């Protein structure tokens, strides 16, 4: 079957990573069936300008349509920006002979949805968060299929599919990779291991609490792999004495698959991709939702926590003493970890990329 698939998911990693995971799944189908063309839409200001070409996909740029979360004067500029962006996107869809447009939300997806409707190209929407944004709320009204990551996401016609993930994550065998992963990060092969990560830029509250609990963690025999964020160079821990549990601080984790394989428990934010990756690989987590925004991170984590796959703590309540009282007993108890890991894995989805690819190819004209 010959089909041209246009993917719209620029801006942040939360939109781009699932888009690229779907692209990889479609590419695997194309290698078998032939005749599949994949094009990604983005803007000149998003991370996609780096991430999409690095993965070998064609990237076409359109004018962005920023969508303010609250009523501001910026809203007055949106109609003109939408008209221009939709017009340019329509030209691209015709040039590409688009057979389907798949949107992942954000300021790239909205003009793609509207252009596709005008060009009579079928639309598939994928929503990563439990609380959908404006672009996908609009997109769902014109879409033939709507796939969601979190069960119960309030979108018309929503089908629970899960989050498309990189195969390095979705196929990860944590126990089989553990020794290699711990050696990579300079960790002891046999100690209980805590992963602290606050997203690509780090998180100040997680950094403060973890560093404040460093001595207690060390005393309990817990080693730590802590991604502080590339700008947080002031986040440091004094070297541990020989024979003590290591506390390894890095700016950023390029290999999240190895980080997940190395760790027994994660202390982290609750972004959509993070929650989906952790549950897919069966990693128990203590989720600390971002305290700003519309509360979507708490909603993202809730299904996994309710299933018994982790804990939820408010950002304001996270402290060194909270880590001592709750995290240390959890990470040092193998039976507790095994129970949480089993429930986390049951709440996760490893095949969302293939399931979404099925939907896209069913819809494509």
pLDDT in tens, 167-197: 999 999 999 999 999 999 999 999 999 999 9
Cα–Cα distance measured from residue 74 to residue 62, given in angstroms and rounded to the nearest whole number: 19
The tens digit of pLDDT for each residue in 120-176 reads 999 999 999 999 998 999 999 999 999 999 999 999 999 999 999 999 999 999 999
Q: Which residues contact 260 (CB under 8 A, 6 or more apart)?
A: 169, 172, 174, 195, 266, 277, 278, 281, 283
Is 4 annotated in a binding site? The answer is no
The tens digit of pLDDT for each residue in 283-322 reads 999 999 999 878 899 999 999 999 999 999 999 999 999 9
Is 321 annotated in a binding site? The answer is no
Is 13 annotated in a binding site? The answer is yes
Say which CATH architecture domain 3-165+350-363 belongs to: 3-Layer(aba) Sandwich (3.40)
In 3D space, the residue among 168, 166, 170 whose CA is nearest the CA of residue 181 turns out to be 168
Cα–Cα distance measured from residue 175 to residue 332, given in angstroms and rounded to the nearest whole number: 17
Is 166 annotated in a binding site? The answer is yes
Q: What's the token pair of residue 301?
A: 């984590």
Give domain limits for the chain. Answer: 3-165+350-363, 168-347
Is 14 annotated in a binding site? The answer is yes
Q: SS3 for 300? A: helix
Query: What's the pLDDT at 327?
Result: 99
Q: What's the token pair of residue 234?
A: 């002031």
Alpha helices in the chain (DSSP H): 13-33, 48-54, 78-96, 109-119, 134-142, 167-170, 174-184, 204-212, 214-219, 256-262, 272-280, 296-306, 320-322, 328-331, 334-347, 352-363
Per-residue DSSP letters for 326-356?
Answer: IIHHHHT-HHHHHHHHHHHHHH--S-HHHHH
* Common-topology check for domains 3-165+350-363 and 168-347: yes
Query: What's the pLDDT at 82?
Result: 80
Phi, psi of 247 (to 5 degrees): -125, 105
Cα–Cα distance measured from residue 75 to residue 318, given in angstroms and rounded to the nearest whole number: 36
Which region holds residue 34: left if phi is over 0, alpha if psi is between -120 and 50, else beta? left
| Report field, pTM of the whole predicted structure over 0.85 | yes
**Residue 173: exposed, middle, or buried by beta-carbon count in 10 A (0-12, 13-18, 19+)?**
exposed
Is 308 annotated in a binding site? The answer is no
Is 2 annotated in a binding site? The answer is no
CATH class of 168-347: alpha beta
């Amino acid at each position: 079957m010959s089909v041209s698939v246009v993917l719209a998911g620029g801006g942040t990693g939360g939109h781009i990573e699932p888009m690229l995971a779907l692209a990889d799944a479609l590419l695997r189908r194309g290698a078998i069936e032939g005749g599949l063309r994949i094009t990604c839409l983005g803007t000149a200001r998003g991370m996609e300008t780096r991430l999409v070409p690095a993965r070998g996909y064609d990237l076409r740029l359109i004018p962005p349509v920023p969508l303010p979360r609250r009523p501001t004067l910026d809203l007055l500029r949106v109609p003109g920006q939408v008209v221009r962006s939709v017009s340019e996107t329509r030209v691209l869809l015709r040039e590409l002979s688009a057979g389907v447009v798949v949107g992942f939300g954000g300021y790239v997806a909205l003009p793609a949805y509207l252009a596709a409707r005008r060009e009579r190209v079928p639309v598939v929407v994928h929503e990563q968060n439990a609380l959908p944004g404006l672009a996908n709320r609009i997109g769902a009204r014109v879409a033939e299929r709507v796939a969601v990551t979190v069960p119960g996401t309030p979108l018309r016609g929503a089908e629970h599919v899960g989050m498309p993930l990189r195969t390095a994550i979705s196929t990860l065998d944590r126990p089989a990779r553990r020794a290699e992963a711990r050696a990579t990060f300079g960790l002891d092969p046999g100690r209980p291991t805590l992963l602290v990560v606050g997203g690509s830029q780090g998180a100040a509250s997680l950094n403060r609490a973890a560093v404040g609990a460093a001595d207690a963690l060390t005393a309990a025999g817990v080693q730590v792999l802590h991604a502080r964020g590339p700008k947080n160079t002031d986040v440091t821990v004094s070297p541990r004495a020989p024979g003590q549990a290591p506390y390894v601080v890095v700016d950023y984790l390029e290999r999240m698959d190895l980080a997940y394989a190395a760790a027994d428990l994660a202390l982290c934010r609750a972004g959509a991709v993070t929650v989906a990756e952790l549950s897919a690989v069966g990693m128990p987590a203590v989720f600390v939702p971002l305290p700003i925004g519309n509360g979507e991170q708490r909603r993202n984590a809730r299904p996994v926590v309710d299933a018994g796959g982790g804990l939820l703590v408010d950002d304001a309540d996270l402290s060194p003493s909270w880590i001592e009282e709750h995290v240390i007993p959890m990470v040092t108890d193998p039976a507790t970890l095994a129970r949480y890991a089993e429930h986390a894995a049951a709440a996760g989805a490893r095949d969302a990329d293939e399931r979404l690819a099925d939907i896209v190819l069913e819809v494509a004209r």
